[in-house]
Structure 1
Amino acid sequence: MSPNKMEPLQLQPNIGVYFSANDHVYDWAIAFLNSFRTFNPDLRLVLIPFNETCDRLFALQTQYNFELYIDPSFSQLEAIGQALELGHTPTGPYWFRRYAAFWGKLDRFLYLDTRQVVLADLIPLITALDEFEFDFLHYDCAIDQVYQAGKFRQNLLLKSKGRGFLSGLWASKKGLFSLEEFEEFAVQALEIRDRLNPRNTDQAFINYCCDMKPVRYGHFAEVLGGICQNAWARQSGHIYRENNKYYRWDYGGLDHKKQVVLIHWAGYKWDDFLPHNWILISFMGNSKMLYWLEYIGRLIVKAPHLLLKKLISQQHINFAYHYIKGRIKQ
């Protein structure tokens, strides 16, 4: 990427990052904020409150230098989420608040969920929008988490659409969508709700909007090169640090020795046995030792369950387990 192209955007105050969180994910937020400011000390950071339970989080505003973005459209966005929700995720409608970013404070922005850590300078991910002439850039893809198999999905794929990107980390531009457009797309989406993933409502919705508009969107790794294809924590290989950068070692794999920009623990709970937990805890600041002790205690308590789960996951043992379980039920 040309430094001459990057520098003017880097100095503009309307380039930055939105993140969403509340007090329920406070521990995740601490790790996220520490990692973000380690690699992006001056980049503008804006919190979109996930819901009204954010008092502890708001108290961190000065320490980590982030702004608040509260918009009257939150209730209307939540109403879209509620209309599309099938009852699987009670908090699902709150995820739709993130889409107020399209008419928010920043002209070029990255959106990040809080259950991740930042391991690199994020400005190249934002400036890539203009440098490579994209409207929207994303990371991981999992089409089954967005569209149901069938004719609708097939038709999208035939038109080179329907990538099925995940909604936890992406970059875009102010004005790409309006609230009125979202409300119109919501009406359309309700008509084909059975062709969208039943659980990941906000994720299916933003994909649907990008595919219907249509939007020029692409994958960060494919556009930029040299960075890992996936940010989700559950990937093969391991992560190592070299010259203050993080890389994935996965000999023979597609991401071998490529840079890790973000690690995303989507779908995990804080008290799970987390992959790459050492990286997460390394960004817990003064509480690092406390969290290591908590993690060791958790590992001891859960060790028998983890061992049983590992054994059951083996093909022949898994078959025998379910066969015996089925016989017992009879």
Structure 2
Amino acid sequence: MTAPAPEPGAPDAGSPETGAAGAYFSANDAVFDWTVGFLESFRVHNPTLPLLWIPFDDRGDRIAALADEYDFAPWEDPAFGRLEAIGRSLEIGLTPYGPHWFRRFAAFWGPLERFLYLDSRQLVLCDLAEFVAAPAEYGFDLMHFDCTLDQVYEPGEVRRAFLRRGRGRGFNSGRWASRRGLFDLETLERVGAECLAVRDQMNPRNTDQFFLNYACDSGSVREGRNERPIVAGHFAEVLGDLCRDAWSRQPGRVYRDAAGVYRRWDHGGADHAKRVPILHWAGIKLSPAMPEAELFYSYRNRGESGGRRALRSLRRRAERPALRWADRLRRQRHLNTLWHRLRGDAR
């Protein structure tokens, strides 16, 4: 990656005009296959929505080569270094690549006025316009999908204090909508210092996730002479007819109804027949045995000939039983403990 960095807040050549609505995504060459699937699904359902790429790190030549085909532009900012410094200060050695996640927060002063941020290990399964517009339309500063409090805050006074105030949702940081100007760099650096002071009450791994949650849970917005708390909300709770969680390993299966809308079949479950606008595989290895693998590969390999896609599908189906058996073994408690112990000894 050798593209020159623009001034903070200035769009690259090919970027949408400042004030436009659109989406950002983060990726590098290490997740190339995931990214092709993401881009295919994004453009199938959002052929004209502006899309900007935030390079995860300097390994992005293969991703950059996709820009014309999928109509996206790189978004690089001199603040990446300072954002990564926040991540390094919060890293305790479990996720050495974690500081790169903090680049995504440059979206808060990028060229898009209203935007979605999306990780690349997911599929977009619908027109995203309603999600980009939802925060402004319904009076929220930021909106999100999945919530798992333990993935954000450890038990402690910080968590309890937020919960007493009706905050502390613990939302996933891989897919959310907001607006330009909600945070600036100096505010985020101050939030980083506050998180560092209570690092033992934050999740050991998910540095950018607890950071964004803490910024929203503790932050405020100035309106005229007054300040009010930042208002964050869950898309499914606000819009309705949506699955609460976008993670692929939820109960049931994804299907497409007669109108072409993706929904989850989980008869008797809370999300039965509700829309699946986005599906993600965070923490799941790319494999023919992963949940909803055929749906993912239907987009990943969409540009290939029908015969090649059919052969690939047959190969995956043949590999799947052995891979799923190996996964069940790996998830068995005693074997998993032994595996991690042996790995630790090997190091």
- Is the partner of 1:107 in helix, strand or coil? strand
Whether the 8 Å CA contact 2:287–2:293 is kept in 1: the answer is: no
Map 1:67-146 → 2, pairs under 5 A? 67-146=73-152
Q: TM-score, normalised by structure 1?
A: 0.88
> Cα RMSD over matched residues?
2.2
- Taking the aligned partners of 2:101 and 2:278, their CA distance within structure 1 comes to 20
- Taking the aligned partners of 1:293 and 1:139, their CA distance within structure 2 comes to 35
- Taking the aligned partners of 1:192 and 1:292, their CA distance within structure 2 comes to 52
1:310 Cα deviation after fit: 3.6
Q: Which runs of 5+ in 2 are unaligned?
A: 1-16, 220-228, 339-347
Q: Could you say which residue in structure 1 is the equivalent of 2:224? A: none
1:130 Cα deviation after fit: 1.1
- Taking the aligned partners of 1:198 and 1:175, their CA distance within structure 2 comes to 29
Map 1:155-170 → 2, pairs under 5 A? 155-170=161-176
- Is the partner of 1:286 in helix, strand or coil? coil
- Taking the aligned partners of 2:330 and 2:28, their CA distance within structure 1 comes to 36
- Taking the aligned partners of 1:209 and 1:13, their CA distance within structure 2 comes to 24
Q: Is 1:261 paired with 2:277? A: yes
Superposed CA offset, 1:82-136 (max 9, x none): 0100111111000000000000010000000000000101010111111100000
- Counting aligned pairs with the same residue, the percent is 47
1:302 Cα deviation after fit: 6.5
Which of 208, 223, 245 is equivalent to 1:202? 208
Greater percentage in helix: 1
1:304/1:155 CA distance change after superposition, 3 Å: same
Q: Could you say which residue in structure 1 is the equivalent of 2:247? A: 232
Whether the 8 Å CA contact 1:129–1:135 is kept in 2: the answer is: yes
The residue identity in structure 1 corresponding to 2:302 is: G
Q: TM-score, normalised by structure 2?
A: 0.83
Whether the 8 Å CA contact 1:81–1:94 is kept in 2: the answer is: yes
Whether the 8 Å CA contact 2:26–2:120 is kept in 1: the answer is: yes
- Taking the aligned partners of 1:54 and 1:292, their CA distance within structure 2 comes to 30
1:262 Cα deviation after fit: 0.5
Whether the 8 Å CA contact 1:13–1:44 is kept in 2: the answer is: no
Q: Is 1:218 paired with 2:226? A: no
Q: Could you say which residue in structure 1 is the equivalent of 2:158? A: 152
Superposed CA offset, 1:185-223 (max 9, x none): 111111000000010000010001101114100000001
Whether the 8 Å CA contact 1:120–1:245 is kept in 2: the answer is: yes
- Is the partner of 1:188 in helix, strand or coil? helix
The residue identity in structure 2 corresponding to 1:137 is: M
- Taking the aligned partners of 2:170 and 2:261, their CA distance within structure 1 comes to 29
1:297 Cα deviation after fit: 4.6
Q: Structure 1 segments of 4 or more deviating over 4 A?
A: 288-302
Q: Is 1:25 paired with 2:31? A: yes
1:189/1:72 CA distance change after superposition, 3 Å: same
The residue identity in structure 2 corresponding to 1:21 is: A
